[in-house]
């Protein structure tokens, strides 16, 4: 990575320990976000573990901004909070909006910075009162490097998505994906769906719960503290369904992992592609 001067963003913020159990903390998070105009659109337990929970949320102004970025900008429309049971309550963390906005909107981020800064500030204002830490963790990367992020030379970038399937129409794509999600094909679970019908864009947040190939197989190895990285996404744009390449998306959300640790989950990007491909068949 280049050593650029100026601010750097961490992928996550550790809010700290909230005194209540995971169910009550989940309610407190929802109340805090709703007070700032956000809406919770889905939640689930990563790995199927009751001591882990992710809440996904969005807001209308965020959606209206990111949909203007035609190359999968809508992926930045859904933000995430991670909850993990602790001895004295529940650990609360969240995906840093500034980190993901720069990574997913790339060169177009500066054009929309004013409206996105409002979103980021409102997230911080909503969630920071729930804990006493409020510190970034998981690494730190400059905005410039986030916009062209690669873990290593020759590794995939945002602009190297995996094409899952090209359908005959946007409507057929939605029908097939939703039918397969309802059937929990490939050990998957629908966490959320967000549709921009007039733009022919739909995003599906997908839990990967297969015990041998999904989150139970890779998340304990690379780190459950980063659970606000989840769930994984399929984005359907017009007729084509794609996903971010696992070797880009996992590295982006776990940028401090050593190559040795990545080698332990070498099959994971392919397993995720297989699971999400099965939802498009």
pLDDT of residue 5: 58
Residues 131 and 238 in one domain: no
- Measured from the Cβ of residue 191, the count of other Cβ atoms closer than 10 Å reads 24
pLDDT of residue 4: 45
User: Residue 75 in 3-state DSSP?
Assistant: helix
Residues 167 and 59 in one domain: no
Residues 185 and 116 in one domain: no
Q: Which of 108, 140, 172 is the last residue of a domain?
A: 140
Asked whether residue 98 is domain-assigned, the answer is yes
104: CATH = 3.30.310.70
Q: The whole model's pTM is what? A: 0.96
> What is the domain extent for residue 31?
12-140
Residues 36 and 111 in one domain: yes
Residues 16 and 125 in one domain: yes
pLDDT tens for the chain, residues 1 to 281: 444 457 999 999 999 999 999 999 999 999 999 999 999 999 999 999 999 999 999 999 999 999 999 999 999 999 999 999 999 999 999 999 999 999 999 999 999 999 999 999 999 999 999 999 999 999 999 999 999 999 999 999 999 999 999 999 999 999 999 999 999 999 999 999 999 999 999 999 999 999 999 999 999 999 999 999 999 999 999 999 999 999 999 999 999 999 999 999 999 999 999 999 999 99
Domains of the chain: total: 2
Residues 131 and 186 in one domain: no
Q: Which of 91, 108, 140 is the last residue of a domain?
A: 140
Alpha helix stretches (DSSP H) within the chain: 22-34, 60-66, 97-105, 113-127, 143-146, 170-182, 215-222, 246-253, 259-264, 268-278
Residues 24 and 116 in one domain: yes
Residues 136 and 177 in one domain: no
pLDDT of residue 2: 45
Question: Beta strands 232-237 and 39-44: pairing type?
Answer: unpaired
Residues 195 and 127 in one domain: no
Asked whether residue 265 is domain-assigned, the answer is yes
Dig out the tokens for 36 from the structure.
């700032």
The tokens 């190895």 sit on which residue? Answer: 221
pLDDT of residue 6: 74
Residues 113 and 168 in one domain: no
């Amino acid at each position: 990575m280049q050593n650029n001067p100026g601010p750097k963003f961490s992928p996550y913020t550790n809010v700290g320990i909230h005194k209540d159990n995971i169910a009550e903390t989940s309610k407190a998070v929802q109340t805090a976000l709703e007070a700032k105009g956000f809406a919770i659109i889905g939640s689930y337990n990563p790995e199927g573990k009751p001591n882990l929970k992710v809440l996904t949320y969005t807001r209308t102004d965020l959606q209206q901004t990111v949909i203007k970025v035609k190359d999968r900008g809508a992926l930045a429309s859904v933000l995430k909070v991670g909850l993990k049971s602790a001895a004295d309550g529940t650990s609360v963390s969240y995906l840093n909006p500034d980190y993901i906005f720069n990574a997913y909107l790339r060169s177009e981020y500066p054009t929309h910075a004013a409206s996105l800064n409002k979103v980021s500030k409102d997230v911080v204002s909503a969630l920071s009162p729930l804990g006493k830490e409020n510190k970034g963790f998981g690494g730190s990367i400059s905005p410039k490097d986030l916009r062209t992020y690669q873990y290593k030379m020759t590794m995939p970038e945002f602009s190297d998505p995996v094409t899952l399937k090209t359908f005959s129409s946007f409507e057929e794509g939605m029908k097939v994906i939703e039918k397969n999600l309802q059937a929990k094909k490939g050990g998957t679970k629908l966490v959320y769906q967000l549709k921009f019908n007039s733009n022919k864009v739909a995003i599906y947040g997908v839990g990967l719960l297969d015990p041998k190939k999904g989150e139970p197989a890779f998340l304990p190895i690379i780190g459950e503290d980063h659970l606000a990285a989840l769930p994984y996404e399929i984005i359907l744009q017009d007729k084509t369904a794609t996903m971010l390449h696992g070797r880009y998306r996992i590295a982006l959300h776990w940028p401090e992992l050593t190559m040795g640790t990545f080698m332990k989950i070498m099959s994971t990007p392919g397993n995720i592609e297989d699971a999400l491909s099965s939802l498009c068949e």
